[in-house]
Structure 1
Amino acid sequence: MLGKLLKYELKASGRIFIPLYIVILIVAVFNGIFMNTNTFQIQGILILILTSLFMALGVLTVVVTIQRFRKNLLGDEGYLMFTLPVSTSSLILSKCITALIYAVLSFIVAVLTFGVFMISSTYGVLLPEILELLNTSFKWISENFLDILLLVVVMFISYSSFILLLYTSLSMGQLPKFNKHRNIVAFASFIAINIVISIVGDALGSILPNENMYYHLYQSPHFMITILGGIAVVVILFFATKFILDKKLNLE
Protein backbone atom coordinates (compact mmCIF):
# COMPACT_ATOMS: atom_id res chain seq x y z
CA MET A 1 0.00 0.00 0.00
CA LEU A 2 2.93 2.30 0.65
CA GLY A 3 3.90 1.92 -3.01
CA LYS A 4 0.45 3.07 -4.15
CA LEU A 5 0.57 6.04 -1.79
CA LEU A 6 4.02 6.98 -3.11
CA LYS A 7 2.80 6.75 -6.71
CA TYR A 8 -0.11 9.07 -5.87
CA GLU A 9 2.12 11.53 -4.02
CA LEU A 10 4.78 11.59 -6.74
CA LYS A 11 2.16 12.36 -9.40
CA ALA A 12 0.49 15.05 -7.30
CA SER A 13 3.78 16.83 -6.50
CA GLY A 14 5.13 16.23 -10.00
CA ARG A 15 2.44 18.42 -11.49
CA ILE A 16 4.19 21.34 -9.80
CA PHE A 17 7.86 20.36 -9.88
CA ILE A 18 8.31 18.70 -13.30
CA PRO A 19 7.20 21.74 -15.37
CA LEU A 20 9.49 23.94 -13.26
CA TYR A 21 12.43 21.57 -13.82
CA ILE A 22 11.82 21.65 -17.57
CA VAL A 23 11.65 25.46 -17.63
CA ILE A 24 14.88 25.74 -15.59
CA LEU A 25 16.75 23.38 -17.93
CA ILE A 26 15.45 25.19 -21.04
CA VAL A 27 16.53 28.57 -19.64
CA ALA A 28 19.91 27.04 -18.72
CA VAL A 29 20.40 25.79 -22.30
CA PHE A 30 19.57 29.20 -23.76
CA ASN A 31 21.88 30.79 -21.21
CA GLY A 32 24.63 28.49 -22.42
CA ILE A 33 23.91 29.37 -26.05
CA PHE A 34 24.25 33.10 -25.38
CA MET A 35 27.15 32.70 -22.93
CA ASN A 36 29.81 33.07 -25.60
CA THR A 37 28.15 35.88 -27.55
CA ASN A 38 28.28 39.62 -27.13
CA THR A 39 24.58 39.91 -26.32
CA PHE A 40 25.19 40.92 -22.71
CA GLN A 41 21.66 42.25 -22.22
CA ILE A 42 20.12 38.87 -23.11
CA GLN A 43 22.67 37.11 -20.89
CA GLY A 44 21.72 39.32 -17.95
CA ILE A 45 18.00 38.73 -18.47
CA LEU A 46 18.46 34.96 -18.72
CA ILE A 47 20.64 34.84 -15.59
CA LEU A 48 18.02 36.90 -13.72
CA ILE A 49 15.26 34.55 -14.89
CA LEU A 50 17.29 31.49 -13.92
CA THR A 51 18.08 32.92 -10.48
CA SER A 52 14.39 33.72 -9.94
CA LEU A 53 13.41 30.20 -10.99
CA PHE A 54 15.83 28.64 -8.50
CA MET A 55 14.48 30.89 -5.75
CA ALA A 56 10.94 29.84 -6.69
CA LEU A 57 12.04 26.20 -6.61
CA GLY A 58 13.42 26.59 -3.10
CA VAL A 59 10.25 28.25 -1.82
CA LEU A 60 7.98 25.77 -3.60
CA THR A 61 9.86 22.82 -2.12
CA VAL A 62 8.93 23.95 1.40
CA VAL A 63 5.42 25.13 0.48
CA VAL A 64 4.50 21.89 -1.31
CA THR A 65 5.88 19.84 1.59
CA ILE A 66 3.61 21.73 3.98
CA GLN A 67 0.56 21.82 1.72
CA ARG A 68 0.62 18.14 0.76
CA PHE A 69 0.71 17.13 4.43
CA ARG A 70 -1.74 19.73 5.68
CA LYS A 71 -4.32 19.44 2.91
CA ASN A 72 -4.13 15.67 2.53
CA LEU A 73 -4.02 14.62 6.19
CA LEU A 74 -5.13 17.57 8.31
CA GLY A 75 -7.81 19.07 6.06
CA ASP A 76 -11.07 17.74 4.64
CA GLU A 77 -9.23 15.07 2.64
CA GLY A 78 -8.08 13.61 5.95
CA TYR A 79 -11.53 12.09 6.51
CA LEU A 80 -10.95 9.97 3.40
CA MET A 81 -7.25 9.27 3.91
CA PHE A 82 -7.70 7.91 7.44
CA THR A 83 -10.46 5.54 6.30
CA LEU A 84 -8.09 3.82 3.87
CA PRO A 85 -6.76 0.38 4.88
CA VAL A 86 -3.29 1.78 5.49
CA SER A 87 -1.34 2.64 8.62
CA THR A 88 -0.60 6.15 9.79
CA SER A 89 3.10 5.33 9.44
CA SER A 90 2.64 4.63 5.74
CA LEU A 91 0.80 7.92 5.25
CA ILE A 92 3.60 9.87 6.92
CA LEU A 93 6.34 7.93 5.11
CA SER A 94 4.73 8.47 1.71
CA LYS A 95 4.77 12.23 2.27
CA CYS A 96 8.32 12.26 3.65
CA ILE A 97 9.82 9.99 0.98
CA THR A 98 8.16 12.01 -1.79
CA ALA A 99 9.58 15.24 -0.38
CA LEU A 100 13.04 13.63 -0.24
CA ILE A 101 12.78 12.36 -3.82
CA TYR A 102 11.91 15.78 -5.19
CA ALA A 103 14.69 17.34 -3.10
CA VAL A 104 17.13 14.95 -4.81
CA LEU A 105 15.65 15.73 -8.24
CA SER A 106 15.99 19.45 -7.52
CA PHE A 107 19.66 18.89 -6.66
CA ILE A 108 20.17 16.94 -9.91
CA VAL A 109 18.56 19.74 -11.90
CA ALA A 110 20.87 22.23 -10.17
CA VAL A 111 23.92 20.08 -11.05
CA LEU A 112 22.79 19.80 -14.68
CA THR A 113 22.30 23.56 -14.82
CA PHE A 114 25.78 24.10 -13.39
CA GLY A 115 27.10 21.61 -15.95
CA VAL A 116 25.62 23.66 -18.79
CA PHE A 117 27.40 26.74 -17.45
CA MET A 118 30.67 24.84 -17.13
CA ILE A 119 30.47 23.48 -20.67
CA SER A 120 29.59 26.93 -22.00
CA SER A 121 32.38 28.66 -20.11
CA THR A 122 34.96 26.14 -21.34
CA TYR A 123 34.14 26.82 -24.97
CA GLY A 124 37.40 26.69 -26.90
CA VAL A 125 39.24 24.69 -24.24
CA LEU A 126 41.11 21.72 -25.68
CA LEU A 127 39.72 18.22 -25.12
CA PRO A 128 42.87 16.97 -23.30
CA GLU A 129 42.46 19.76 -20.72
CA ILE A 130 38.84 18.80 -20.11
CA LEU A 131 39.78 15.12 -19.77
CA GLU A 132 42.55 16.04 -17.32
CA LEU A 133 40.06 18.02 -15.22
CA LEU A 134 37.63 15.10 -15.21
CA ASN A 135 40.41 12.67 -14.32
CA THR A 136 41.49 14.87 -11.39
CA SER A 137 37.90 15.16 -10.19
CA PHE A 138 37.26 11.41 -10.32
CA LYS A 139 40.52 10.74 -8.54
CA TRP A 140 39.59 13.14 -5.72
CA ILE A 141 36.13 11.55 -5.44
CA SER A 142 37.58 8.02 -5.25
CA GLU A 143 40.07 9.06 -2.56
CA ASN A 144 37.35 10.72 -0.46
CA PHE A 145 34.44 8.43 -1.32
CA LEU A 146 33.56 7.50 2.27
CA ASP A 147 33.67 11.14 3.36
CA ILE A 148 31.39 12.13 0.49
CA LEU A 149 29.05 9.24 1.28
CA LEU A 150 28.86 10.29 4.94
CA LEU A 151 28.10 13.88 3.93
CA VAL A 152 25.29 12.63 1.68
CA VAL A 153 23.93 10.56 4.58
CA VAL A 154 24.05 13.61 6.87
CA MET A 155 22.23 15.69 4.25
CA PHE A 156 19.48 13.07 3.98
CA ILE A 157 19.15 12.83 7.76
CA SER A 158 19.11 16.63 8.17
CA TYR A 159 16.49 17.14 5.47
CA SER A 160 14.39 14.25 6.81
CA SER A 161 14.44 15.82 10.27
CA PHE A 162 13.42 19.17 8.73
CA ILE A 163 10.47 17.56 6.94
CA LEU A 164 9.35 15.67 10.03
CA LEU A 165 9.78 18.81 12.13
CA LEU A 166 7.33 20.55 9.80
CA TYR A 167 4.92 17.61 10.11
CA THR A 168 5.17 17.53 13.90
CA SER A 169 4.64 21.29 14.16
CA LEU A 170 1.63 21.21 11.84
CA SER A 171 0.18 18.28 13.78
CA MET A 172 0.60 20.11 17.09
CA GLY A 173 -1.29 23.03 15.61
CA GLN A 174 -4.23 20.64 15.02
CA LEU A 175 -4.61 19.71 18.68
CA PRO A 176 -8.20 20.40 19.85
CA LYS A 177 -7.15 23.00 22.43
CA PHE A 178 -5.60 25.15 19.68
CA ASN A 179 -8.58 25.29 17.29
CA LYS A 180 -8.57 29.09 17.13
CA HIS A 181 -4.82 29.54 16.74
CA ARG A 182 -3.64 26.63 14.60
CA ASN A 183 -1.19 28.54 12.40
CA ILE A 184 0.34 30.43 15.31
CA VAL A 185 0.75 27.24 17.36
CA ALA A 186 2.28 25.39 14.41
CA PHE A 187 4.81 28.18 13.87
CA ALA A 188 5.58 28.46 17.59
CA SER A 189 5.98 24.69 17.81
CA PHE A 190 8.46 24.74 14.93
CA ILE A 191 10.58 27.38 16.71
CA ALA A 192 10.28 25.72 20.13
CA ILE A 193 11.26 22.25 18.90
CA ASN A 194 14.21 23.73 17.00
CA ILE A 195 15.38 25.44 20.19
CA VAL A 196 15.05 22.22 22.21
CA ILE A 197 17.02 20.24 19.61
CA SER A 198 19.74 22.90 19.58
CA ILE A 199 19.97 22.99 23.39
CA VAL A 200 20.19 19.20 23.66
CA GLY A 201 22.77 19.09 20.86
CA ASP A 202 24.91 21.76 22.52
CA ALA A 203 24.63 20.01 25.88
CA LEU A 204 25.76 16.69 24.43
CA GLY A 205 28.57 18.41 22.54
CA SER A 206 29.83 20.07 25.71
CA ILE A 207 30.21 16.79 27.61
CA LEU A 208 32.07 15.04 24.81
CA PRO A 209 35.86 15.11 25.12
CA ASN A 210 37.84 17.29 22.74
CA GLU A 211 39.15 15.41 19.75
CA ASN A 212 42.15 15.80 17.53
CA MET A 213 41.92 16.80 13.91
CA TYR A 214 41.13 13.85 11.63
CA TYR A 215 41.90 13.61 7.94
CA HIS A 216 38.66 11.75 7.20
CA LEU A 217 35.19 12.31 8.62
CA TYR A 218 34.65 8.62 9.36
CA GLN A 219 37.61 8.78 11.74
CA SER A 220 35.89 11.41 13.88
CA PRO A 221 33.85 10.05 16.85
CA HIS A 222 32.08 13.43 17.12
CA PHE A 223 30.89 13.22 13.52
CA MET A 224 29.58 9.68 13.97
CA ILE A 225 27.77 10.75 17.16
CA THR A 226 26.24 13.63 15.17
CA ILE A 227 24.86 11.11 12.68
CA LEU A 228 23.40 8.97 15.47
CA GLY A 229 21.90 12.08 17.08
CA GLY A 230 20.32 13.07 13.78
CA ILE A 231 18.80 9.61 13.40
CA ALA A 232 17.42 9.83 16.95
CA VAL A 233 15.79 13.19 16.13
CA VAL A 234 14.20 11.74 12.98
CA VAL A 235 12.80 8.77 14.92
CA ILE A 236 11.44 10.94 17.75
CA LEU A 237 9.77 13.41 15.37
CA PHE A 238 8.30 10.59 13.29
CA PHE A 239 6.69 8.89 16.29
CA ALA A 240 5.58 12.25 17.74
CA THR A 241 3.73 13.01 14.50
CA LYS A 242 2.29 9.49 14.39
CA PHE A 243 1.08 9.73 18.01
CA ILE A 244 -0.73 13.02 17.39
CA LEU A 245 -2.35 11.74 14.18
CA ASP A 246 -3.39 8.49 15.85
CA LYS A 247 -4.57 9.80 19.22
CA LYS A 248 -5.15 13.55 19.05
CA LEU A 249 -6.16 14.30 15.46
CA ASN A 250 -8.60 17.19 15.05
CA LEU A 251 -9.39 17.64 11.35
CA GLU A 252 -10.33 21.02 9.92
Structure 2
Amino acid sequence: MLKQLLKYEFKATKSLYFGLYLALALLSVVLGVTFRQEHALAHSTSFQNLEVILMIVYVSVILAIAVLCFVNTIQRFYQNLLGREGYLMHTLPVTETQLILSKLITSMVWVLCSGLVGIVCITVMVAVGVFDPETFGMVDWESWKQLWGMLYGELGARFWLVTFWTILINLARLADLILCVYAACMIAHPFRKHVVILAFIGLNIVENQIDKLLGTNHVNLFMDITYRVADVNVTGVSYGMTPMRWLTAALGTDVGYLFCFAVTAAIAAAYFFLTRWLMKNKLNLE
Protein backbone atom coordinates (compact mmCIF):
# COMPACT_ATOMS: atom_id res chain seq x y z
CA MET A 1 0.00 0.00 0.00
CA LEU A 2 2.97 2.30 0.55
CA LYS A 3 3.70 2.06 -3.18
CA GLN A 4 0.20 3.31 -3.98
CA LEU A 5 0.54 6.19 -1.51
CA LEU A 6 3.84 7.21 -3.10
CA LYS A 7 2.30 7.06 -6.56
CA TYR A 8 -0.53 9.31 -5.40
CA GLU A 9 1.88 11.76 -3.74
CA PHE A 10 4.13 12.14 -6.78
CA LYS A 11 1.12 12.50 -9.07
CA ALA A 12 -0.29 15.27 -6.86
CA THR A 13 2.96 17.25 -6.69
CA LYS A 14 4.84 16.67 -9.95
CA SER A 15 3.11 19.41 -11.96
CA LEU A 16 4.27 22.11 -9.53
CA TYR A 17 7.90 21.05 -9.67
CA PHE A 18 8.13 20.14 -13.35
CA GLY A 19 6.80 23.56 -14.36
CA LEU A 20 9.50 25.35 -12.37
CA TYR A 21 12.19 22.89 -13.53
CA LEU A 22 11.27 23.55 -17.16
CA ALA A 23 11.29 27.32 -16.61
CA LEU A 24 14.72 27.11 -14.94
CA ALA A 25 16.13 24.98 -17.77
CA LEU A 26 14.86 27.36 -20.46
CA LEU A 27 16.17 30.40 -18.60
CA SER A 28 19.57 28.71 -18.23
CA VAL A 29 19.85 28.30 -21.99
CA VAL A 30 18.59 31.84 -22.69
CA LEU A 31 20.98 33.36 -20.15
CA GLY A 32 23.84 31.32 -21.57
CA VAL A 33 23.10 32.72 -25.03
CA THR A 34 22.95 36.29 -23.69
CA PHE A 35 26.30 35.83 -21.94
CA ARG A 36 27.79 34.66 -25.23
CA GLN A 37 26.47 37.78 -26.98
CA GLU A 38 27.50 40.11 -24.16
CA HIS A 39 30.71 41.39 -25.79
CA ALA A 40 29.08 41.99 -29.16
CA LEU A 41 26.10 43.90 -27.70
CA ALA A 42 27.73 45.44 -24.62
CA HIS A 43 27.02 48.95 -25.95
CA SER A 44 23.28 48.29 -26.14
CA THR A 45 21.33 49.60 -23.14
CA SER A 46 18.30 47.51 -24.07
CA PHE A 47 20.40 44.36 -24.10
CA GLN A 48 21.89 45.16 -20.70
CA ASN A 49 18.43 45.78 -19.25
CA LEU A 50 17.22 42.49 -20.72
CA GLU A 51 20.16 40.67 -19.18
CA VAL A 52 19.44 42.15 -15.74
CA ILE A 53 15.76 41.23 -16.01
CA LEU A 54 16.62 37.67 -17.03
CA MET A 55 19.00 37.32 -14.09
CA ILE A 56 16.34 38.57 -11.67
CA VAL A 57 13.81 36.10 -13.10
CA TYR A 58 16.39 33.31 -12.94
CA VAL A 59 17.18 33.94 -9.27
CA SER A 60 13.46 34.28 -8.55
CA VAL A 61 12.76 30.85 -10.06
CA ILE A 62 15.55 29.30 -7.96
CA LEU A 63 14.11 30.89 -4.83
CA ALA A 64 10.62 29.76 -5.85
CA ILE A 65 11.83 26.15 -6.08
CA ALA A 66 13.47 26.40 -2.64
CA VAL A 67 10.33 27.91 -1.10
CA LEU A 68 8.14 25.33 -2.84
CA CYS A 69 10.17 22.48 -1.30
CA PHE A 70 9.66 23.89 2.20
CA VAL A 71 6.03 24.96 1.82
CA ASN A 72 5.01 21.79 0.00
CA THR A 73 6.55 19.66 2.77
CA ILE A 74 4.34 21.37 5.35
CA GLN A 75 1.24 21.73 3.18
CA ARG A 76 1.10 18.14 1.93
CA PHE A 77 1.42 16.81 5.47
CA TYR A 78 -0.85 19.30 7.25
CA GLN A 79 -3.66 19.57 4.73
CA ASN A 80 -3.57 15.97 3.53
CA LEU A 81 -3.42 14.30 6.95
CA LEU A 82 -4.57 16.92 9.46
CA GLY A 83 -7.03 18.94 7.39
CA ARG A 84 -10.26 18.06 5.59
CA GLU A 85 -8.52 15.51 3.37
CA GLY A 86 -7.50 13.71 6.55
CA TYR A 87 -11.04 12.30 6.92
CA LEU A 88 -10.45 10.31 3.73
CA MET A 89 -6.76 9.49 4.23
CA HIS A 90 -7.27 8.01 7.69
CA THR A 91 -10.07 5.75 6.47
CA LEU A 92 -7.76 4.04 3.97
CA PRO A 93 -6.45 0.56 4.88
CA VAL A 94 -3.00 1.91 5.71
CA THR A 95 -1.05 2.44 8.90
CA GLU A 96 0.19 5.73 10.34
CA THR A 97 3.72 4.56 9.52
CA GLN A 98 2.88 4.22 5.83
CA LEU A 99 1.20 7.62 5.72
CA ILE A 100 4.21 9.34 7.30
CA LEU A 101 6.75 7.45 5.19
CA SER A 102 4.93 8.34 1.97
CA LYS A 103 5.14 12.05 2.83
CA LEU A 104 8.76 11.78 3.98
CA ILE A 105 10.04 9.90 0.93
CA THR A 106 8.21 12.20 -1.49
CA SER A 107 9.55 15.35 0.18
CA MET A 108 13.12 14.00 0.26
CA VAL A 109 12.98 13.03 -3.42
CA TRP A 110 11.75 16.47 -4.48
CA VAL A 111 14.38 18.26 -2.38
CA LEU A 112 17.17 16.12 -3.86
CA CYS A 113 15.79 16.50 -7.39
CA SER A 114 15.56 20.26 -6.96
CA GLY A 115 19.19 20.44 -5.87
CA LEU A 116 20.30 18.26 -8.78
CA VAL A 117 18.26 20.26 -11.31
CA GLY A 118 19.75 23.49 -9.95
CA ILE A 119 23.31 22.20 -10.35
CA VAL A 120 22.65 20.89 -13.87
CA CYS A 121 20.94 24.12 -14.99
CA ILE A 122 23.73 26.33 -13.68
CA THR A 123 26.28 24.08 -15.40
CA VAL A 124 24.33 24.32 -18.66
CA MET A 125 24.15 28.12 -18.38
CA VAL A 126 27.91 28.39 -17.87
CA ALA A 127 28.65 25.86 -20.62
CA VAL A 128 26.44 27.65 -23.16
CA GLY A 129 27.65 31.10 -22.18
CA VAL A 130 31.36 30.48 -21.80
CA PHE A 131 32.54 27.40 -23.67
CA ASP A 132 32.74 27.04 -27.42
CA PRO A 133 34.38 24.30 -29.52
CA GLU A 134 37.65 26.20 -29.83
CA THR A 135 37.88 27.02 -26.14
CA PHE A 136 36.87 23.47 -25.18
CA GLY A 137 39.60 22.08 -27.40
CA MET A 138 42.21 24.36 -25.83
CA VAL A 139 41.58 23.12 -22.29
CA ASP A 140 44.65 21.39 -20.90
CA TRP A 141 42.97 18.14 -19.95
CA GLU A 142 46.31 16.52 -19.18
CA SER A 143 46.87 18.99 -16.33
CA TRP A 144 43.42 18.19 -14.92
CA LYS A 145 44.23 14.48 -15.06
CA GLN A 146 47.50 15.08 -13.22
CA LEU A 147 45.73 17.17 -10.57
CA TRP A 148 43.11 14.46 -10.06
CA GLY A 149 45.86 11.85 -9.89
CA MET A 150 47.64 13.84 -7.16
CA LEU A 151 44.45 14.27 -5.13
CA TYR A 152 43.45 10.64 -5.47
CA GLY A 153 46.98 9.49 -4.76
CA GLU A 154 46.99 11.46 -1.51
CA LEU A 155 43.50 10.48 -0.36
CA GLY A 156 43.20 7.09 -2.02
CA ALA A 157 40.18 5.02 -1.13
CA ARG A 158 39.54 7.33 1.82
CA PHE A 159 38.20 9.97 -0.60
CA TRP A 160 35.30 7.67 -1.51
CA LEU A 161 34.78 6.71 2.12
CA VAL A 162 34.47 10.34 3.21
CA THR A 163 32.17 11.01 0.25
CA PHE A 164 30.00 8.06 1.29
CA TRP A 165 29.71 9.28 4.89
CA THR A 166 29.04 12.84 3.73
CA ILE A 167 26.12 11.71 1.57
CA LEU A 168 24.77 9.33 4.21
CA ILE A 169 24.92 11.83 7.08
CA ASN A 170 23.37 14.63 5.04
CA LEU A 171 20.55 12.35 3.89
CA ALA A 172 19.91 11.56 7.55
CA ARG A 173 19.91 15.28 8.33
CA LEU A 174 17.44 15.96 5.55
CA ALA A 175 15.11 13.27 6.90
CA ASP A 176 15.63 14.67 10.39
CA LEU A 177 14.62 18.17 9.27
CA ILE A 178 11.47 16.99 7.47
CA LEU A 179 10.43 14.76 10.37
CA CYS A 180 10.99 17.69 12.73
CA VAL A 181 8.47 19.66 10.64
CA TYR A 182 6.00 16.77 10.86
CA ALA A 183 6.42 16.48 14.63
CA ALA A 184 5.90 20.25 14.99
CA CYS A 185 2.70 19.99 12.92
CA MET A 186 1.37 17.23 15.15
CA ILE A 187 2.27 19.07 18.38
CA ALA A 188 0.64 22.27 17.14
CA HIS A 189 -2.43 20.63 15.58
CA PRO A 190 -4.77 21.15 18.59
CA PHE A 191 -3.85 24.84 18.58
CA ARG A 192 -3.72 27.53 15.90
CA LYS A 193 -1.63 26.97 12.77
CA HIS A 194 1.00 29.60 13.63
CA VAL A 195 1.97 27.47 16.65
CA VAL A 196 3.66 25.13 14.16
CA ILE A 197 6.50 27.65 13.82
CA LEU A 198 6.91 27.92 17.58
CA ALA A 199 6.91 24.13 17.94
CA PHE A 200 9.46 23.79 15.14
CA ILE A 201 11.75 26.39 16.74
CA GLY A 202 11.41 24.70 20.12
CA LEU A 203 12.30 21.27 18.74
CA ASN A 204 15.30 22.74 16.92
CA ILE A 205 16.57 24.41 20.09
CA VAL A 206 16.41 21.08 21.94
CA GLU A 207 18.11 19.27 19.07
CA ASN A 208 20.90 21.88 18.82
CA GLN A 209 21.61 21.52 22.54
CA ILE A 210 21.86 17.75 22.15
CA ASP A 211 24.22 18.22 19.19
CA LYS A 212 26.43 20.56 21.22
CA LEU A 213 26.44 18.23 24.19
CA LEU A 214 27.47 15.24 22.05
CA GLY A 215 29.75 17.24 19.76
CA THR A 216 27.99 16.20 16.54
CA ASN A 217 27.45 19.84 15.59
CA HIS A 218 31.11 19.91 14.51
CA VAL A 219 30.34 18.01 11.31
CA ASN A 220 29.38 20.40 8.51
CA LEU A 221 27.55 19.88 5.24
CA PHE A 222 30.87 19.09 3.54
CA MET A 223 32.67 17.22 6.24
CA ASP A 224 36.21 17.76 7.42
CA ILE A 225 35.84 15.91 10.67
CA THR A 226 39.57 15.76 11.42
CA TYR A 227 39.89 19.54 11.39
CA ARG A 228 36.71 20.10 13.34
CA VAL A 229 37.63 17.62 16.05
CA ALA A 230 41.08 19.16 16.42
CA ASP A 231 39.50 22.61 16.82
CA VAL A 232 38.59 22.80 20.49
CA ASN A 233 37.07 26.27 20.34
CA VAL A 234 34.02 26.95 18.17
CA THR A 235 33.09 30.64 17.89
CA GLY A 236 35.12 31.26 21.03
CA VAL A 237 33.19 28.73 23.13
CA SER A 238 34.87 25.55 24.33
CA TYR A 239 32.67 22.46 24.52
CA GLY A 240 35.27 20.34 26.27
CA MET A 241 35.85 16.65 25.57
CA THR A 242 32.54 15.70 23.99
CA PRO A 243 31.71 12.07 23.10
CA MET A 244 32.33 12.94 19.45
CA ARG A 245 35.84 14.23 20.22
CA TRP A 246 36.66 11.29 22.45
CA LEU A 247 35.50 8.66 19.95
CA THR A 248 37.32 10.32 17.07
CA ALA A 249 40.55 10.74 19.02
CA ALA A 250 40.47 7.21 20.46
CA LEU A 251 39.02 5.14 17.61
CA GLY A 252 39.48 7.23 14.47
CA THR A 253 37.42 9.45 12.20
CA ASP A 254 35.39 6.57 10.77
CA VAL A 255 33.91 5.93 14.21
CA GLY A 256 33.23 9.66 14.47
CA TYR A 257 31.30 9.54 11.20
CA LEU A 258 29.32 6.53 12.40
CA PHE A 259 28.55 8.21 15.72
CA CYS A 260 27.34 11.38 13.99
CA PHE A 261 25.11 9.35 11.66
CA ALA A 262 23.75 7.28 14.54
CA VAL A 263 22.88 10.40 16.58
CA THR A 264 21.20 12.09 13.61
CA ALA A 265 19.26 8.93 12.75
CA ALA A 266 18.22 8.50 16.39
CA ILE A 267 16.85 12.05 16.57
CA ALA A 268 15.02 11.56 13.26
CA ALA A 269 13.58 8.29 14.59
CA ALA A 270 12.43 10.09 17.76
CA TYR A 271 10.58 12.65 15.61
CA PHE A 272 9.07 9.84 13.55
CA PHE A 273 7.78 7.88 16.56
CA LEU A 274 6.51 11.06 18.23
CA THR A 275 4.61 11.97 15.05
CA ARG A 276 3.18 8.47 14.71
CA TRP A 277 2.14 8.28 18.37
CA LEU A 278 0.39 11.66 18.27
CA MET A 279 -1.32 10.78 14.99
CA LYS A 280 -2.50 7.44 16.33
CA ASN A 281 -3.57 8.49 19.83
CA LYS A 282 -4.15 12.24 19.90
CA LEU A 283 -5.40 13.19 16.45
CA ASN A 284 -8.78 14.94 16.44
CA LEU A 285 -10.02 16.07 13.04
CA GLU A 286 -13.30 17.52 14.33
- Matched residue, 1:92: 100
DSSP 3-state at the match of 1:250: coil
Aligned with residue 208 of structure 1, among 228, 243, 249: 243
| Unmatched 5+ stretches in structure 1 | none
**Does structure 1 residue 164 correspond to structure 2 residue 203?**
no
Give, as a single letter, the amino acid of the residue that structure 2 aligns with 1:23: A
DSSP 3-state at the match of 1:249: coil
**Does structure 1 residue 122 correspond to structure 2 residue 131?**
yes
Residues 5 and 102, structure 2, Cα contact 8 Å, conserved in 1: yes
1:31-67 Cα shifts (integer Å, max 9, x gaps): 1111111343332222211111001111111011111
Distance 1:136 1:212 in 2: 36
Regions of 4+ moved over 6 Å: 211-214
Give the TM-score taking structure 2 as reference length. 0.78
**Does structure 1 residue 227 correspond to structure 2 residue 237?**
no
The percentage of counterpart residues that share the same residue type is: 30
Distance 1:210 1:91 in 2: 38
- Matched residue, 1:240: 274
| Unmatched 5+ stretches in structure 2 | 39-46, 216-238
Give the TM-score taking structure 1 as reference length. 0.87
Structure with higher RCO (Cα < 8 A, 6+ apart):
1
**Does structure 1 residue 148 correspond to structure 2 residue 158?**
no
Distance 1:138 1:157 in 2: 29
Across the aligned residues of Structure 1 and Structure 2, the Cα RMSD in angstroms comes to: 2.5
DSSP 3-state at the match of 1:245: helix
- Matched residue, 2:21: 21
Structure showing the higher helix proportion among its residues: 1
Give, as a single letter, the amino acid of the residue that structure 1 aligns with 2:26: I
Distance 2:282 2:98 in 1: 18
- Matched residue, 1:71: 79
Residues 75 and 251, structure 1, Cα contact 8 Å, conserved in 2: yes
DSSP 3-state at the match of 2:93: coil
Q: CA deviation at 1:223?
A: 3.2
Distance 1:159 1:75 in 2: 25
Residues 165 and 257, structure 2, Cα contact 8 Å, conserved in 1: no
**Does structure 1 residue 3 correspond to structure 2 residue 34?**
no
Residues 174 and 251, structure 1, Cα contact 8 Å, conserved in 2: no
Distance 2:3 2:114 in 1: 22
Give, as a single letter, the amino acid of the residue that structure 1 aligns with 2:82: L
1:68-112 Cα shifts (integer Å, max 9, x gaps): 001100001111101101111010000000001111110111111
1:129-163 Cα shifts (integer Å, max 9, x gaps): 27457746876589522222221112211111111
CA distance change for structure 1 residues 24 and 81 in 2, over 3 Å: closer, same or farther? same
Alignment of 1:176-191 (within 5 A): 178=191, 182-191=192-201
CA distance change for structure 1 residues 32 and 251 in 2, over 3 Å: closer, same or farther? same
- Rg (Cα) greater in structure: 2
Distance 1:204 1:65 in 2: 29
Aligned with residue 61 of structure 1, among 56, 63, 69: 69
Alignment of 1:103-114 (within 5 A): 103-114=111-122
Q: CA deviation at 1:212?
A: 11
